[in-house]
Amino acid sequence: MPLYDHTPYSHPLDVLRRFMPSPLKTLIKFEKEIILVETNDSSLLLPFGYLDSQTTSAISPAFHWKLLRDADVRGKLARATILMAGSLLVANIGPVCLAGMDLERQELLAFIGGEVDPQDYQIYVFPVLSGLTQFAMGKKPAIGIPFPNEVVGANA
């Protein structure tokens, strides 16, 4: 799969890639709320509608997404597994997609492997991230999150 505008990253002291840069930023409208989306790959911005840049200077986002393309991670998407422990919600969609959400801070961090193409992202990954966000915003109950795959929940 060709990576679109992808920012490569390698740092010997950051093997978990926690500090991978995300130079692409946009504000999107989601469920009548504004979300700040940061990423290192322009293909991960495709499903979003952009806001007019002149009207965004005074807007304070209600939520923050950081979507990181990790080209070194290989594999296939799999059935979504959702785990919740306290205010942390984690979604594992196979070895190529791991997303964590801090419910209190209203932040989502997702690592998406290099083999997830834009179509699979829109069909499988984006609905899971959207469902997590709807749950965090109080728009959907936990059981009603519209995940495209079977969900396994566990409270720790």
pLDDT tens digits, 94-109: 999 999 999 999 999 9
Amino acid at 25: K
**Contact assessment for residue 80 and residue 93, using Cβ atoms and an 8 Å cutoff:** yes
- 2 located within any domain: no
Contact 35, 63 (CB under 8 A): yes
Bridge-based pairing state of the strands 81-85 and 97-102: unpaired
Q: What is the pLDDT of residues 65-86, one digit of tens each?
A: 999 988 878 888 888 888 889 9
Domain that residue 28 falls in: 24-144
Domain count, the chain: 1
Give CA 32 to chain center in angstroms. 18
Domain membership flag for residue 7:
no
Domain assignment present for residue 12? The answer is no
pTM of the full structure? 0.77
